[in-house]
């Protein structure tokens, strides 16, 4: 299977690059406009409709093709979101940007990226040591380059061989922590309380802004948003890296809940306080999933998703309904098992993952005796519950 990653660095754009970025942005908007007006979705039909109209731009044809292909992606996403929410605004690129998958070269010896500008006159951008060392890795194939006015990002790929998993790591994602239960019976918690705290702090700062000028307000909100984003991202990257490393080390697969419609749970009019809604809506459950998934793919680790129904309320020993107790504890109504609610959820996810995993029989000898009984018991209960409904 093919795994893709990207590496970023800051750079200072020259006037020529700034000009290209703005031309690319305009071409992108032209293509999106044409695509919407002519109602085309495929790359091929958008190319035939739009390519000639881009003739007025004095830019190399590589970029025209890339603008059309990027616009196709934007249009596809727009149509998808509009199905769910008919009030979605039509896409329009405001930030100068440029993506190319053709014509660029990376010269490791001169430590530069060469971007086509005029025939035989490329523009060069110095690359830093980190980017060069990443791209010099074994079997790396560089795919594309994306520039904004501050940052450049290079995406790269490699062929990876999928690891045949010998067990599973189940991850329960919560607002303040990630709880991990694995087939060896270990439980680990990754604390994310710091991320929630940072998000709360910035929400507080933004809520105190009283300047009644939209442009200034947007600029300041944007600035704090970026700062918050950077800080939170660092915490999430640390946690996802640890999890993927431990899966790689033991040759385990990863299983998570398929969470959908989370944002719908915390909308206005659902009888929740503003503060609570704000906190729940800033929960980075999807960003974590994205990070874990691409990092796992890169290592050839299998990632599967299970139905989240009931994972937080069912007993991970006998499958009965649990009763909430103090300090995020749960107590089982029938077997009296007392457990932390996150640990219970992670164990339920693990049990479901094992049930669906293709290697279930192969990993059983690795599961410790009591744990194995647990899994089988939950299994049986789930099955009777299923057949009863």
- Binding mask 305-344 vs Zn ion (x if CB under 5 A, - otherwise)? ----------x-xx-x-----------x--x-x-------
3-class SS of residue 313: coil
Shortest reach from residue 332's CB to Zn ion, in Å? 3
- Nearest in space to 236 (alpha carbons), one of 277, 272, 193: 193
> Which CB sits closer to Zn ion, 332 or 346?
332
> Which CB sits closer to Zn ion, 199 or 347?
347
> Which CB sits closer to Zn ion, 255 or 317?
317
β-pairing, 253-257 with 303-306?
parallel
**Can residue 351 be called a binding residue for Zn ion (CB under 5 A)?**
no
| Cα 61 from chain centroid (whole Å) | 32
| Footprint on residues 180-199 left by Zn ion (CB under 5 A) | none
Contact in structure between 355 and 255 (CB atoms under 8 Å): no
Contact in structure between 27 and 70 (CB atoms under 8 Å): no
- Round to whole Å and give the CA distance between 389 and 282: 36
> Which CB sits closer to Zn ion, 127 or 339?
339
Query: Which helix H or strand E contains 158, and what residues bound it?
Result: strand 151-159
Shortest reach from residue 251's CB to Zn ion, in Å? 32
> Which CB sits closer to Zn ion, 115 or 332?
332
Count residues near Zn ion (CB under 5 A): 7
Shortest reach from residue 381's CB to Zn ion, in Å? 9
- Round to whole Å and give the CA distance between 199 and 195: 6
Shortest reach from residue 318's CB to Zn ion, in Å? 3
Shortest reach from residue 384's CB to Zn ion, in Å? 15
Contact in structure between 294 and 316 (CB atoms under 8 Å): no
* Chain contacts with Zn ion (rule: CB under 5 A): 315, 317-318, 320, 332, 335, 337
């Amino acid at each position: 299977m093919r795994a893709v990653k990207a590496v970023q660095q800051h750079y200072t754009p020259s006037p020529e690059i700034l000009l290209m970025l703005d031309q690319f942005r305009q071409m992108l908007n032209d293509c999106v406009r044409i695509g919407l007006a002519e109602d085309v979705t495929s790359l091929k039909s958008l190319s035939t409709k739009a390519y000639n109209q881009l003739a007025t731009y004095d830019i190399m044809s590589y970029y025209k093709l890339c603008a059309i292909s990027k616009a196709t992606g934007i249009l596809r996403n727009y149509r998808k979101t509009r199905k769910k929410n008919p009030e979605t605004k039509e896409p329009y690129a405001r930030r100068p940007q440029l993506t190319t998958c053709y014509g660029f070269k990376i010269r490791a010896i001169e430590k530069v990226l060469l971007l086509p500008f005029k025939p035989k006159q490329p523009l060069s951008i110095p690359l830093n040591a980190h980017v060069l060392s990443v791209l010099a890795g074994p079997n790396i194939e560089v795919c594309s380059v994306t520039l904004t006015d501050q940052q450049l990002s290079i995406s790269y790929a490699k062929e990876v061989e999928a690891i045949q998993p010998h067990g599973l790591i189940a991850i329960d994602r919560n607002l303040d922590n990630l709880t991990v239960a694995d087939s060896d019976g270990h439980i680990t918690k990754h604390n994310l309380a710091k991320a929630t705290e940072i998000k709360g702090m910035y929400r507080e700062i933004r809520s105190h802004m009283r300047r009644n000028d939209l442009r200034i307000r947007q600029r300041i909100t944007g600035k704090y948003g970026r700062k918050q984003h950077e800080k939170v991202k660092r915490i999430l990257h640390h946690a996802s890296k640890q999890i993927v490393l431990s899966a790689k080390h033991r040759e385990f697969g990863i299983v998570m809940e398929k969470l959908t419609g989370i944002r719908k749970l915390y909308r206005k009019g659902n009888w929740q306080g503003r503060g609570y809604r704000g906190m729940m809506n800033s929960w980075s459950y999807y960003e974590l999933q994205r990070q874990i998934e691409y990092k796992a793919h890169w290592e050839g680790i299998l990632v599967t998703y299970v139905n989240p129904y009931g994972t937080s309320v069912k007993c991970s020993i006998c499958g009965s309904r649990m009763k909430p107790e103090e300090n995020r504890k749960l107590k089982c109504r029938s077997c009296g098992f007392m457990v932390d609610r996150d640990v219970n959820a992670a164990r339920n996810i693990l049990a479901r993952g094992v049930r669906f995993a293709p290697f279930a029989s192969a990993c059983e000898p690795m599961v410790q005796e009591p744990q194995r009984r647990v899994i089988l018991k939950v299994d049986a209960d789930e099955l009777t519950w299923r057949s009863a409904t």
